[in-house]
A = this chain, B = another copy of it.
Amino acid sequence: MARAATTSDVFNAIAEQQRREILVLLRAREVPVTELAQELGMTQPGASKHLRVLREVGLVRDRKAGKHRLYGLDARGLRPVHEWTGGFEQFWNESFDRLDAYVQDLKQERQEE
Contacts and interface: CB of A to CB of B under 8 A. Distances in A.
Interface of A: 3-4, 9, 11-12, 14-17, 20, 23-24, 27, 61, 63-64, 72-76, 78-79, 81-82, 84-89, 91-92, 95-96, 98-99, 102, 105-106, 109
Given A11-B17, A79-B92, 6 more contacts: A3-B16, A24-B87, A27-B91, A61-B99, A74-B95, A76-B92
Contacts of A88: 23, 27, 73, 75, 78, 82
B73 A95 contact: yes
Contact of A15 (B12, B24, B27, B85): B12
Helix, strand, loop or mixed for chain A's interface? helix
A99 to B, nearest CB: 6
Contacts of A96: 76
A85 B81 contact: yes
B75 A91 contact: yes
A7 B13 CA distance: 17
